């Protein structure tokens, strides 16, 4: 059930016009800009931190999955979700919510947990590029 629901959401997102050329697929920084008050220095510091952190989270999540460490995955997911919200990554936030729900079910959902975790892990480089692009704008 989880996998079908997520697959439909993923296909719908990727087929939608929400990501037109020149815009970001996975990051909508309007909320982020509002939170930082458009303070360029604060934005630069936070973006730099996110770029480093997102890559680490993706690696940590994938490593916990490889060990079938459900509790470790839940810890990483718990850290990630508010940050994904702050940078306006609604799609990845929803992915993490679904993955978190599956982790609560436990190892019986391990096949689906692996599928979604792998999908997230594969999307991290693109999300990182989007954040780097925005970071480059702040460093001008």
Q: pLDDT tens-digit profile of 61-111?
A: 999 999 999 999 999 999 888 888 888 788 888 888 899 999 999 888 999
Q: How many domains does the chain have?
A: 1
Average pLDDT over residues 39-51: 86
Residue 114 lies in a domain: yes
Residue 14 lies in a domain: no
CATH number of the domain at 41, please. Answer: 1.20.120
Residue 107 lies in a domain: yes
Residue 18 lies in a domain: no
Entry field: residues in the chain: 140
Residue 17 lies in a domain: no
Residue 64 lies in a domain: yes
Residue 112 lies in a domain: yes
Task: Read off the pLDDT of residues 8-25 as tens digits, 9 standing for 90 and up.
Answer: 444 444 444 444 334 677
Q: Please tell me the distance from the alpha carbon of residue 74 to that of residue 64, in angstroms, as a whole number.
A: 9
Secondary structure of the chain as H, E, C letters: CHHHHHHHHHHHHHHCCCCCCCCCCCCCCHHHHHHHCCCHHHHHHHHHHHHHHHHHHHHHHHHHHHCCCHHHHHHHHHHHHHHHHHCCCHHHHHHHHHHHHHHHHCHHHHHHHHHHHHHHHHHHHHHHHHHHHHHHHHHC
Q: Which domain does 58 fall in, by range?
A: 25-139
Q: Please tell me the distance from the alpha carbon of residue 136 to that of residue 2, in angstroms, as a whole number.
A: 37
Residue 10 lies in a domain: no
């Amino acid at each position: 059930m989880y996998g079908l629901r997520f697959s439909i959401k993923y296909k719908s997102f990727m087929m939608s016009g929400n990501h037109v050329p020149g815009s970001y697929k996975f990051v909508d920084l309007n909320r982020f800009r509002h939170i930082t008050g458009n303070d360029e220095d604060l934005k630069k510091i936070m973006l730099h931190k996110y770029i480093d952190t997102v890559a680490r989270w993706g690696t940590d999540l994938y490593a916990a999955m490889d060990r079938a460490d459900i509790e470790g995955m839940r810890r990483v997911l718990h850290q990630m979700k508010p940050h994904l919200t702050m940078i306006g990554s609604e799609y990845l936030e929803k992915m993490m919510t679904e993955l978190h729900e599956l982790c609560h079910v436990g190892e019986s959902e391990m096949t689906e947990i692996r599928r979604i975790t792998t999908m997230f892990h594969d999307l991290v480089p693109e999300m990182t590029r989007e954040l780097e692009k925005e970071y480059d704008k702040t460093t001008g």
